[in-house]
């Protein structure tokens, strides 16, 4: 007898939605025969796919599908990165490149690794680079703990956080460009609220 052919499940297209940070807009579609198997998959898009603004074409986003409901896939933010072509275009002869990589924790307990690049208008010394890194780190320390992850992702990808860092850095040395060139979520910490119980008052006789 001829072998029986197993009938494949029909192919369905599942819409994929961006995280809350980007307004949960539809950003892609995934073809699958088993909708449950797409949970955990990663999706790579450009910020342009969300904003439709030309200047965002060089910003790449990586998202992870974390919930599938009613034949729709919802994602969380994993990382963002600027293209190598863009980074090469802003690093020119006669300038200095200053890099800073640091881990910061958001108000809602997420640890995120942030990569900053600053391009000075002229070549500078190692000691000046160190001062710029210190100023950039201070700017991040002042801002990031005040933000939730969604708020931070918006500020990093839409340029607000880079502008705040640039304001701090330019007091040290003029820079032609300051960018949050990359970020990635590391982990989530439990935020523990400390309850202080007052000691009973002592009475003196």
Which pair of tokens denotes residue 144?
């990031």
The whole-angstrom separation of Cα 139 and Cα 122 is 22
What sign has the CA pseudo-torsion 159, 161, 165, 167?
Answer: positive
Contact indicator for 114, 186 with CB cutoff of 8 Å: no
Listed as own residue / partner, the contacts of 8-16 with beta carbons closer than 8 Å and 24 or more positions apart are: 8/33, 9/33, 9/34, 12/71, 14/38, 14/68, 14/71, 14/72, 14/73, 15/71, 15/72, 15/73, 16/43, 16/63, 16/65, 16/73, 16/75
Please report whether residue 16 resides in a domain.
Answer: yes
The whole-angstrom separation of Cα 158 and Cα 205 is 65
What are the tens digits of pLDDT across the range 130-160?
Answer: 999 999 999 999 999 999 999 999 999 999 9
Domain residue limits at 155: 90-188
Please report whether residue 127 resides in a domain.
Answer: yes
Given a cut of 80, whether residue 8 has pLDDT beyond it is no
The confidence band for 3, taking pLDDT boundaries of 50, 70 and 90, is low
Same domain membership, residue 28 and residue 71: yes
The whole-angstrom separation of Cα 160 and Cα 90 is 19
The confidence band for 11, taking pLDDT boundaries of 50, 70 and 90, is confident
Q: Which residue among 28, 63, 81 closes a domain?
A: 81
What are the tens digits of pLDDT across the range 68-100?
Answer: 999 999 999 999 999 999 999 999 999 999 999
Q: Of 19-33, 167-181, 182-196, give the lowest mean pLDDT range.
A: 182-196
What are the tens digits of pLDDT across the range 38-59?
Answer: 999 999 999 999 999 999 999 9
- 205 vs 4: which has the higher pLDDT: 4
Given a cut of 70, whether residue 29 has pLDDT beyond it is yes
In this predicted structure, what is the pLDDT of residue 49? 93
Given a cut of 90, whether residue 14 has pLDDT beyond it is yes
Q: Give the CATH number of the domain where residue 175 resides.
A: 3.30.479.30
Given a cut of 70, whether residue 183 has pLDDT beyond it is yes
Which pair of tokens denotes residue 105?
């924790």
Count of domains observed in the chain: 2
Share of the chain above pLDDT 90, in %: 79
């Amino acid at each position: 007898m001829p072998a029986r052919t197993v009938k494949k499940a029909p192919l369905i297209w599942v819409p994929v939605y961006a995280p809350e940070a980007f307004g949960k807009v539809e950003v892609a579609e995934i073809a699958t025969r088993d909708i449950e198997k797409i949970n955990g998959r990663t999706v790579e898009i450009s910020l342009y796919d969300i904003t439709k603004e030309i200047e965002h074409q060089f910003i790449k986003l990586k998202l992870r599908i974390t919930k599938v409901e009613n034949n729709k896939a919802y994602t969380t933010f994993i990382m963002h990165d600027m293209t190598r072509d863009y980074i090469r275009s802003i690093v020119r002869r006669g300038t200095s490149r200053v890099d800073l990589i640091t881990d910061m924790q958001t108000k809602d307990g997420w640890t995120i690794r942030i990569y900053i690049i600053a391009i000075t208008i002229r070549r500078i010394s190692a000691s000046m680079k160190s001062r710029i890194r210190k100023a950039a780190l201070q700017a991040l320390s002042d801002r990031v703990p005040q933000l939730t992850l969604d708020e931070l992702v918006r500020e990093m990808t839409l340029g607000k956080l880079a502008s705040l860092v640039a304001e701090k850095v330019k007091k040290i040395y003029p820079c032609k460009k300051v960018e949050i060139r990359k970020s990635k979520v590391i982990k989530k910490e439990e935020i523990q609220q400390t309850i202080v119980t007052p000691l009973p008052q002592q009475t003196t006789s």
